[in-house]
Amino acid sequence: MSNARATDAPTRAPKSKPGSTRRLHLPQKMRNVELFLLIVACGINASAVVLVQLGALGHIDTTLVVLGAGLSGLVLCLHIVLRFVARDADPFILPIATLLNGIGIAMIYRIDIANGDAGWDSAAVRQTVWSGLAIACAITVMLVIRNHRVLFRYTYVSGFVAVVLLLLPLVPGLGREVSGARVWIGIGSFATFQPGEIAKIALAIFFAGYLVRNRDSLSMVGRRVLWMKFPRLRDLGPILVLWALSMSVIIFQRDLGTALLYFGLFLVMLYIATGRLSWVLLGMTLFIGGAIIASQTLDYVHGRFQNWLDALNPDVYNADGGSYQLVQGLFGLAKGGLLGTGLGQGRPEITPVPQSDYIIASLGEELGLAGLFAILALYLLFVARGIRIGFAGHDDFGKLLGVGLSFVVALQCFIVIGGVTRVIPLTGLTTPFLAAGGSSLVANWIIVALLLRLSDTIRNQPRLVV
């Protein structure tokens, strides 16, 4: 610890005797950068809410105070915690996550106004409360996990936890089915939760630990076919197990997106651990083959494919569960054009579920291409920071975990935004940080906390500058 602190303030720190316990006042350069960016991000969030009110209501009222101040206060708490427990953590991750979360709340609030929801009915208020819970979880993670290598010990435990979380929605009485997908659990009529979101973190930890332990057999041996080295048949076990797992998610939970997310995460981590392209090729062949078979045999997958390929056909458009939502989203995006209609001045509420799955289409309508690309750039920066942290890691477990956690965010963005913009078939996943939904927020803020912890541990390694 003391090393890195001293390196942060080379000119001011006086020569201290080894072992002296005198506390030095050292300026925290990185935390100050973070504080500055956080204040800017909170300012942008507040102005987004103001613009929504001006555009949709024509005046400013006090709901703004709850929405704006709530989130800002919480992230500042996290910032203060970082000043004590992770002084060298990456300064960009927290402001980016804050800004995305805040823009999401502003957009959800805008749709509340259109639907006339207020108080506890208002999704924006619930989203703010969930953000609070999520950030509290992030703070707990920061305080409990002081070194990411601790997680290495719990490799198989977290693998088990992931499987249990995945199976929970199938338990009778506990599982809930929402719009066809059985990925929710709920007790009573409220408090629904998507355990699969948390499972992705547990899976990332499990994959990282498992691959660090076992990658030699997966990367060293194999037969060369053409220019690529393919693994032996007997080493195909893990990938086949994962494939079976994701296929069973498609069949039993009826959720294409989650299956793609887990399998993609495993493939990328396998590729990074072994450096062999043949795994990716093999895995993609398996998954695409499985998806094609599923689209032939399973009705809901077939419907998704049809909505995607033939969206503008009037029959498909008017069918029950047809492409109405997708096409309305596209119309919204088209209405937005380059600069958007302005916050609060579009009509995003026409699209079904504009605040969760379709929040990207809502944002695209009101902020335009320029705003949508800004949001994509924020995701890009977030993921790039995560991969950079993984790249800078000194231990293989930390490297894999950093890359895995940030890639899962990237892949989730691709699946959702690609679905909304008709690049791939639409599947129900949440847009990280933006979309209304508590489980997704909790999971993504835990990812933030883990990345911050990783970046702090990495910078605390002994270093020498010549």
Partner 1 sequence: MNVSELTLLVLRLGFLLVLWLFIFGIVYALRSDLFGQRVRKQPKDGAPAVASAGLAAAFPSAVPVAAPVMQAAPAFVQPPAASAAAPTEQFSAQAAKDDLGPGDKATAQNATRLVITSGPKAGTEFPLTVDSVTIGRSADSSLVIRDDYTSTHHARLMLWNDKWMIQDLDSTNGTFLAGVRLAVPTPVPLNTTVKIGATSFELRR
Q: How far is the CB of 442 from partner 1 (least distance, A)?
A: 25
Site stretch for partner 1 (CB under 8 A), options 92-100, 176-184, 185-193, 412-420: 92-100
Q: How far apart are alpha carbons 122 and 111 in whole angstroms?
A: 9
- State the angle between helix axes of 438-459 and 396-420 in degrees (0 to 180), rounded to the nearest 10: 150
Task: Identify whether the C-beta of residue 350 lies closer than 8 Å to the C-beta of residue 319.
Answer: no
Does 391 help bind partner 1 (rule: CB under 8 A)? yes
Using the minimum distance from each CB to partner 1, give the nearer residue, 26 or 353.
Answer: 26
Q: How far apart are alpha carbons 375 and 370 in whole angstroms?
A: 9
- Smallest CA-to-CA distance from 196 within 36, 454, 396, 415 is with 415
Site stretch for partner 1 (CB under 8 A), options 131-139, 276-284, 289-297, 338-346: 338-346
Q: How far is the CB of 149 from partner 1 (least distance, A)?
A: 12
Q: How far apart are alpha carbons 126 and 20 in whole angstroms?
A: 50
Q: How far is the CB of 465 from partner 1 (least distance, A)?
A: 4
Using the minimum distance from each CB to partner 1, give the nearer residue, 84 or 391.
Answer: 391
Q: How far is the CB of 143 from partner 1 (least distance, A)?
A: 23
Residues that bind partner 1 (rule: CB under 8 A) add up to a total of 60
Does 172 help bind partner 1 (rule: CB under 8 A)? no
Using the minimum distance from each CB to partner 1, give the nearer residue, 126 or 399.
Answer: 399
Give the one residue of 343, 408, 417, 452 binding partner 1; rule: CB under 8 A.
343
Site stretch for partner 1 (CB under 8 A), options 6-14, 157-165, 216-224, 251-259: 6-14
Give the SS3 label for residue 224: strand
Residues 6+ apart with CB under 8 A from 389: 90, 402, 406, 451, 454, 455, 458
Write the CA distances from 272 to 179, 225, 232, 401, integer angstroms: 36, 21, 19, 11
Q: How far apart are alpha carbons 94 and 106 in whole angstroms?
A: 18
Site stretch for partner 1 (CB under 8 A), options 37-45, 160-168, 285-293, 432-440: 37-45
Q: How far apart are alpha carbons 175 and 167 in whole angstroms?
A: 9
Does 464 help bind partner 1 (rule: CB under 8 A)? yes
Q: How far apart are alpha carbons 258 and 265 in whole angstroms?
A: 11
Site stretch for partner 1 (CB under 8 A), options 34-42, 268-276, 314-322, 348-356: 34-42
Using the minimum distance from each CB to partner 1, give the nearer residue, 30 or 441.
Answer: 30
Write the CA distances from 373 to 192, 314, 357, 364, 423, integer angstroms: 32, 31, 18, 9, 16
Rg value, the chain, Cα: 23
Does 345 help bind partner 1 (rule: CB under 8 A)? yes
Q: Measured at the alpha carbon of residue 412, what is the angle toward residues 408 and 415, in degrees to the nearest 5?
A: 140
Q: x/- contact string, 351-390, with partner 1 (CB under 8 A)?
A: ----------------xx-xx--x--xx--x------x--
Cα atoms in the Cβ-side hemisphere of radius 13 Å centred on 83: 16
Does 55 help bind partner 1 (rule: CB under 8 A)? yes
Does 462 help bind partner 1 (rule: CB under 8 A)? yes
Does 64 help bind partner 1 (rule: CB under 8 A)? no
Q: How far is the CB of 156 from partner 1 (least distance, A)?
A: 23
Does 150 help bind partner 1 (rule: CB under 8 A)? no
Using the minimum distance from each CB to partner 1, give the nearer residue, 232 or 394.
Answer: 394
Task: Identify whether the C-beta of residue 402 lies closer than 8 Å to the C-beta of residue 386.
Answer: yes
Using the minimum distance from each CB to partner 1, give the nearer residue, 295 or 431.
Answer: 431
Does 458 help bind partner 1 (rule: CB under 8 A)? yes
Q: How far apart are alpha carbons 435 and 430 in whole angstroms?
A: 6
Does 392 help bind partner 1 (rule: CB under 8 A)? yes
Site stretch for partner 1 (CB under 8 A), options 42-50, 111-119, 155-163, 446-454: 42-50
Using the minimum distance from each CB to partner 1, give the nearer residue, 165 or 343.
Answer: 343
- Smallest CA-to-CA distance from 1 within 82, 87, 81 is with 87
- Per-residue burial over 27-62, b if 16 or more Cβ lie within 10 Å, else e, is ebebbeebbebbeebbeebbebbbbbbebbeeeeee
Q: How far is the CB of 138 from partner 1 (least distance, A)?
A: 20
Using the minimum distance from each CB to partner 1, give the nearer residue, 11 or 189.
Answer: 11
Strand order in the sheet with 181-187: 175-178, 181-187, 190-193
Q: How far apart are alpha carbons 384 and 398 in whole angstroms?
A: 16
Using the minimum distance from each CB to partner 1, give the nearer residue, 107 or 259.
Answer: 107
Give the one residue of 40, 143, 240, 241 binding partner 1; rule: CB under 8 A.
40
Where along the sequence are the contacts to partner 1 (CB under 8 A)?
A: 2-4, 6-11, 13, 15-16, 18, 29-30, 33, 37, 40-41, 44, 47-48, 51, 54-55, 58-60, 88, 91-92, 95-96, 99, 339-340, 342-343, 345, 367-368, 370-371, 374, 377-378, 381, 388, 391-392, 394-395, 458-459, 461-466
